[in-house]
Chains A and B, each alone.
Chain A
Amino acid sequence: QKEVEQDPGPLSVPEGAIVSLNCTYSNSAFQYFMWYRQYSRKGPELLMYTYSSGNKEDGRFTAQVDKSSKYISLFIRDSQPSDSATYLCAMSAGGSYIPTFGRGTSLIVHP
């Protein structure tokens, strides 16, 4: 079992839909939970992060962490075609520098 599991998709939704992207993990030491967005032919860029448990909201994006279930989610409200990209979750333990990445989920938002 990989440390971080993420369904590669693709996930195809109509414009305006609520999108839910998820990752599960096995390492209880993970403290930082990150979401990266990667557009086609580009490198990943940090979208948002959460420390430990709880929710964090940034505009149309909400990140959730459930440490008891070892499950994290990224919700996108009112999805737009410009949100079409691959979304990678990443996690790191406190004091450990190197994040562990999921494989990424390809999201397609069609007009």
Chain B
Amino acid sequence: DAGVIQSPRHEVTEMGQEVTLRCKPISGHDYLFWYRQTMMRGLELLIYFNNNVPIDDSGMPEDRFSAKMPNASFSTLKIQPSEPRDSAVYFCASSFEGAGALGYTFGSGTRLTVV
């Protein structure tokens, strides 16, 4: 398996533009997580899905952020409109039932810069 695949690896965009980050989880994993990492705040959980259903989105900072998982092999995180304070590295991770926190596999992340 190729692991968790994220695209793009880097994204530079202007303030106010829409940004879409993509994630392909490991086949067979039924949990998918979106995290944001910054120097100041570390790794923050934004939202997670179980069997394609959003379970907890309390970490989504505001209505400008939205996430979808239309099927078991694809998820998107969208920011509209983007702001400079959204600049961070966004990680997707997947895991499987029964593994708990020990089953996480992270992607390599998308480095977002909003200018």
Q: Which residues of B contact A60 (CB under 8 A)?
A: none
B100 at the A/B interface (Cβ < 8 Å)? yes
Q: How far is the CA of A90 from the CA of B42 in the complex (A)?
A: 12
Q: How far is the CA of A43 from the CA of B104 in the complex (A)?
A: 11
Q: How many residues of A contact B (CB 8 A)?
A: 21
Whether A97 lies near B100 (C-beta < 8 A) is yes
A103 at the A/B interface (Cβ < 8 Å)? yes
Whether A43 lies near B100 (C-beta < 8 A) is no
Q: Which residues of B contact A6 (CB under 8 A)?
A: 42
User: Knowing A98-B48, A101-B43, A104-B42 touch, does A43 contact B101 (C-beta < 8 A)?
Assistant: no
CB distance from B29 to the nearest CB of A (A): 13
Whether A32 lies near B102 (C-beta < 8 A) is yes
Q: Count the A-B residue pairs with Cβ separation under 8 angstroms: how many? A: 49
B-contact bits for A66-101, CB 8 A (1 contact / 0 none): 000000000000000000000010101000011101
Query: Whose C-beta in chain A lies nearest to the C-beta of B107?
Result: A43
Whether A42 lies near B108 (C-beta < 8 A) is yes
Query: Whose C-beta in chain B lies nearest to the C-beta of A6?
Result: B42
Q: How far is the CA of A104 from the CA of B43 in the complex (A)?
A: 9
- Enumerate 25 A-B pairs (CB-CB under 8 Å) in ascending A order: A8-B39, A32-B100, A32-B101, A32-B102, A34-B102, A41-B108, A41-B109, A43-B4, A43-B91, A43-B93, A43-B107, A43-B109, A44-B104, A45-B105, A90-B101, A92-B101, A97-B101, A98-B56, A101-B43, A102-B42, A103-B41, A103-B42, A103-B43, A104-B42, A104-B43
Query: A residues near B, CB below 8 A?
Result: 6, 8, 32, 34, 41-46, 49, 88, 90, 92, 97-99, 101-104
